[in-house]
């Protein structure tokens, strides 16, 4: 759906209909919808390949969920996943959870979600970055 230097946003429509299992497949359990409630669903994927330390991965995930909450009303009803697709330079961001890294992640996530929003986001008061 949208990309920035470090992140990619993926979206898939929610299944409103669930087909019953085939007659020949009667041994399997009935199929159930993955997302029962039609809403904006958000997931975060931060691979070890791009963020080696768990504290960094968790800080990035917190930023993803925090920023996406600001954009929830602008996103379409669907399942969304924000994926870290490149690592942040460890020479520039020495600390695993520095305020500088959190601010860089936050700005880039705002750019990503602005590109993906079908309608412009109303001006929001700046929020403090979460741990």
Q: Is the pLDDT of residue 102 over 70?
A: yes
Which two structure tokens, joined as six digits, stand for 81?
């996943």
Give the whole-angstrom CA distance, residue 30 versus residue 41. 23
pLDDT at 111: 94
Give the whole-angstrom CA distance, residue 105 versus residue 111. 10
Listed in sequence order, the DSSP H helices in 1-131 are 54-71, 99-116
| Pairwise pLDDT comparison (80 vs 118), residue with the higher score | 80
Tell the residue number behind the tokens 């305020």, with chain if given: 99
Q: Is the pLDDT of residue 19 over 90?
A: no
Q: Give the three-class secondary structure for 43.
A: strand
CATH code for the part of the protein at 2-12+39-116? 3.30.230.10
pLDDT at 27: 57
The domains of the chain are located at 2-12+39-116
Q: Is the pLDDT of residue 92 over 90?
A: no
Write down the mean pLDDT value for the chain. 81
Q: In the beta sheet, which residues pair with residue 41?
A: 79
Cα three-residue angle 50-65-67, rounded to 5 degrees: 100
| Pairwise pLDDT comparison (18 vs 87), residue with the higher score | 87
- Contact (Cβ atoms closer than 8 angstroms) between residue 96 and residue 55: yes
């Amino acid at each position: 759906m949208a990309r920035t230097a470090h992140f990619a946003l993926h979206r898939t429509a929610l299944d409103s209909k669930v087909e019953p299992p085939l007659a020949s497949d009667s041994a399997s359990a009935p199929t159930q919808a993955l997302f029962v409630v039609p809403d904006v669903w958000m997931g975060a994927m931060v691979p070890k390949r791009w963020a080696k330390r768990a504290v960094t991965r968790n800080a990035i995930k917190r930023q993803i969920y925090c920023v996406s909450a600001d954009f929830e009303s602008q996103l379409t009803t669907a399942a969304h996943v924000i994926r870290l697709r490149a690592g942040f330079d460890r020479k520039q961001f020495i600390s695993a959870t520095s305020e500088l890294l959190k601010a860089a992640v936050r700005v880039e996530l705002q750019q990503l979600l602005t590109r993906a929003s079908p309608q412009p986001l109303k001006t929001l008061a700046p929020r403090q970055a979460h741990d």
